Amino acid sequence: MYKGECLNSQLLRIMGETGHTDLICVCDAGFPVPQNVEKVDLAWKPGKPGFIEVCRMLGDNMVLEKVYLAEEIKKKNQAVLQEFTDLFPNIELVFMSHEELKKLSKSCRAVVRTGEFSAYSNCIFAAGCAF
């Protein structure tokens, strides 16, 4: 039996199938998930699970080389941005408009929806390579 911290079978499968440069979006409860992208809906109540909590789990279980964030987070949600940058000090951050981030989400392998209820708590991770 698997003994890791992620118990969601859909998310485990996606992490296992993800290759170098593939994109995975982690979003707040209000982010519009594109129709043709697989949705992993973890939200079960406002704030649960949180954005940072889910990002931490992905970072603990995957090689990540780059992350895309909305430029708007710098002014509208500095607390989450600070937590995020503290969590991932060695990952390249690429900022773009929220509209551009929504467009990029159409290219993701999956969108992981959290219960986060704070503005612009969305990112798109680019997978790295383990060797």
pLDDT tens-place string over residues 93-106? 999 999 999 999 99
DSSP code at position 25: E
- The reply to whether 20 belongs to the active site is yes
* Catalytic residue, candidates 4, 13, 20, 30: 20
> Domains in the chain and their CATH numbers?
9-127 (3.40.1650.10)
**Strand residue runs (E) in the chain:** 23-27, 38-41, 64-70, 92-96, 110-113, 123-127
Residue 1 reports pLDDT greater than 90: no
What is the C-alpha separation between 40 and 49, in angstroms, rounded? Answer: 12
Residue 7 CB contacts under 8 Å (≥ 6 apart), including other chains: none
pLDDT, mean of residues 21-32: 99
